[in-house]
Structure 1
Amino acid sequence: MLTTLAFLATLASGPVETPVTLPSEPAPLQGTMLAPEGETRAVAVIIAGSGPTDRDGNSPLGVNAATYRLLAEGLAEQGIATVRYDKRGIAGSAAAATAEADLRFGQMADDAAGWARLAAATTGRECAWLIGHSEGALVAEVAARNAEGICGLVLLAGAGRPAGVVIREQLASVPEPLKTEAFAALSELEAGRTTQGPPALAALFRASVQPYLISWLPLDPAELLATYPGPVLIGQGTTDLQVGMADAEALATARPDATLARWDGVNHLLKIAPADRAANIATYADPALPLAPGVVETVATFILGH
């Protein structure tokens, strides 16, 4: 005879959420698996963007849009299981933090590859998809370069140019001689050499972060994508204030056989938003606002079509 709880469980419907853990040093990484109610047709790992962004897509820096949770829920409805996880030092994975001087970009890629192996093994599949958002797109590209068991890449709002190009654009309005000093420091770091850096820009060039910058700056998203042999979906919104269609087109040029999805009126967090900056940013703090129509459908159709 069924107990009351077991009976109620038989009445429940919807995706099944399970905590998952990835062994790691100095402490395990923590994540969430969301599996479809019925058959699991594919599995994917959602890789977060830069900064203290957690597994749901939220950040203490004013982001509470739950983009990754909403994406996972939408994909589960399409029969796709997902794993989303807290990065080292963030939320449930706080104990796995790495000292800033020891952080390397490759470590994030290794973590993503580890989650892909776990996701595939847990669901009994031969491979897992990597869905990278913002900086997570570059993490996915690096992870796929050296990892087996990757079905393909879904790159959402990912940069199409090396970080050094973007940083130089951001520093273009800095007065001289500071700009020249900053550009020279960037060139040194891109060449793999530590540097003094201008004191006025210590937040960018502090000694403890330079090893990470040296591991990150030489990475060219387009070059990485050109050498990746698997299927690729590139998704980009037209009202994204952080990454533009030019980035998506640069990625598509590197991989002419990739699928490029353009979402009109969709911002960096994959939600409908106007080009007006204030109104656009307002969506960053609204978890009740759904993902833009077509985002989940495009991702699911691509994954299930391969």
Structure 2
Amino acid sequence: MFFRLAAVVLALTVVTVTPAEATPRLVPAADREVVFTVDGTTTYGTLHVPAHRAGQRLRAALLLPGSGPTDRDGNQPPASRPNTLAQVADALGSDQVATLRFDKYGTGRTGLGAYRDRPEELDYPAFVRQAKAAYESLRDQPETDPRALLVVGHSEGAMTGLLLGGTVRPRPAGLALLQPQAIRFLDLVALQLHAQIAEATRQGQFTPEQQRAMDAAVDAAVTALRAHRPVDTTDLPPAVAQLFEAFQGPSARFVESDDAVYPPDTVAALRPGTRVLLTCGTDDVQVPCPTTDALTAALRRAHVEGPGRVPLPGVDHLLHDADHPDTLAPAALDALRRFTER
């Protein structure tokens, strides 16, 4: 009887001396600005940290935007404000993943930075170096777990993510390639233009003969650009002619260096076992699902882990569907959850 009573007293003593302060304090969700410098350019970004216990190290994802002047939120103001990356950050935050998104060159607070007076020297590798610096900044944040870093890229940002995945240290635990640029840049441009010309012909804007002439002119323009020859725009509609003229202007160095990357070739450098998600929307006219076939096969050969390629029914390039024109489609949200599930 004495021993049982003593055990009870001891147990009570242990309970009563445990201080209330031993329970970790809950830190509310918050955004804060992150600033880092790369190649002489101060780059500005937003770190979103979900609610967590004080001292807890979180999984964290670097978010990479698509092509053109797309800022940290996935917008090209003033005309286009889909908030794609801001919405991805919200979705990941709900799954306890911190995120860093930033204004790349030519956007937001960052602007052109060191390239302000020489924009013609800005090439695609400069954007990759900027993304690498962002990854390192995310790695060093006090709330993030450097052993559980992720890279989430949209469109061209997915190609950048692939390049990071095989070069940064530590290697990311996972890559999410959302509607990725999965073939060479000029091949993708030609594919998009052929589709637009075909649709215009279907609507009666061009004759079949005009369509054939324009298709041939697009292919010839791509060949000329790759051979560093002037582009003949005689048989091209004005808007298409202006596009190829721009490719020969201040953007020439960027176009050439971007087009030099064939995304399936970058996959071999990934660490085997890397968790990879690749989405393709069935209503995505910018990056149709068949353009991801070679990349999907390369990922399979690289022995990465799933979810792998996930088709998104009715989803467009901005991850919207007909019922959700301003927010991420449920299919896209579900794919992200599959990617982050432990």
Q: What SS does the aligned partner of 1:160 have?
A: coil
Higher alpha-carbon deviation: 69-78 or 289-298 = 289-298
Structure 2 residue 127 is matched with structure 1 residue 108: yes
Q: Assess if the C-alpha contact under 8 Å between 1:188 and 1:194 holds in 2.
A: yes
Q: 2:233 & 2:329 partners in 1: Cα distance?
A: 43
Aligned to 1:7: none
Shift of 1:199: 5.6
Aligned to 1:6: none
Q: What residue identity is the alignment partner of 1:260? A: R
Q: What residue identity is the alignment partner of 2:287? A: V
Query: Aligned residue pairs: how many?
Result: 281
Structure 2 residue 217 is matched with structure 1 residue 186: no
Distance 1:171 1:65, change over 3 A: closer
Q: What SS does the aligned partner of 1:146 have?
A: coil
Which of 321, 324, 330 is the equivalent residue of 1:272? Answer: 321
The 5 A counterparts of 1:21-100 are: 21-38=35-52, 39-60=56-77, 62-96=79-113, 98=115, 99-100=118-119
Aligned to 1:251: 295
Q: 1:56 & 1:206 partners in 2: Cα distance?
A: 29
Distance 1:125 1:304, change over 3 A: farther
Distance 1:195 1:145, change over 3 A: farther
Q: 1:44 & 1:128 partners in 2: Cα distance?
A: 6
Distance 1:42 1:180, change over 3 A: same
Shift of 1:115: 0.7
Aligned to 1:293: 330
| TM-score (norm. length: structure 2) | 0.73
Q: What SS does the aligned partner of 2:230 have?
A: coil
Q: Assess if the C-alpha contact under 8 Å between 2:184 and 2:263 holds in 1.
A: yes
Shift of 1:105: 0.9
Q: 1:298 & 1:102 partners in 2: Cα distance?
A: 38
Q: Assess if the C-alpha contact under 8 Å between 2:74 and 2:81 holds in 1.
A: yes
Shift of 1:94: 1.3
> Which sections of structure 2, spanning at least 5 residues, go unmatched?
1-24, 198-209, 235-240
Aligned to 1:143: 164
The structure that has the greater radius of gyration is 2
Aligned to 2:258: 216
Distance 1:183 1:66, change over 3 A: same
Aligned to 2:230: 196
> Which sections of structure 1, spanning at least 5 residues, go unmatched?
1-10, 275-279, 284-288
Distance 1:202 1:79, change over 3 A: same
Higher alpha-carbon deviation: 14-23 or 88-97 = 88-97
